[in-house]
Amino acid sequence: MSKRTLFLALPIAAAMVLSACGGGAAERPSADELSSVFTEGAEELGLDGVEIPQEAADCLAEALVNSDVSDEALRAMADRDEDYDLSDEDETVLTESLQGSAMECMMPAETE
């Protein structure tokens, strides 16, 4: 899978992790907890056979922690809660956050 395809698939995959029903108050997860979703949960995200580099996963996770995605939605993502019902607002913010940071995170700056 090309980096461009991965860039386009990340928001959809993240939303898939957070689909179904449920929810409740939760503590905002750490970037480390979210990073493991991208590195260890690629199959659950629908990214079978795709390896997300640790540096990229850390970058994406940090962007989500610093975003306006709700604590509950991020906690459900970190916990891989398939029963969580992602609100329309969280889905929009999550998608925008991942799209906004994916290029930077997946394409590290060139070194001289």
What confidence tens digit (pLDDT) does each residue in 3-26 have? 554 555 566 566 555 544 344 456
In a domain, 58, yes or no: yes
The pLDDT-based confidence of 112 (bands split at 50, 70, 90) is very low
In a domain, 111, yes or no: no
Question: pLDDT value at position 15?
Answer: 58
In a domain, 112, yes or no: no
Residue 72 sits in which domain range? 3-103
Q: Are 10 and 60 contacting, i.e. CB atoms less than 8 angstroms apart? A: yes
For range 29-43, the mean pLDDT: 85
C-alpha 42/C-alpha 30 separation (Å) is: 18
Burial of 72 from C-beta contacts in 10 A (0-12 / 13-18 / 19+): buried
In a domain, 71, yes or no: yes
In a domain, 109, yes or no: no
Q: Are 31 and 105 contacting, i.e. CB atoms less than 8 angstroms apart? A: no
Chain centroid to CA 110: 24
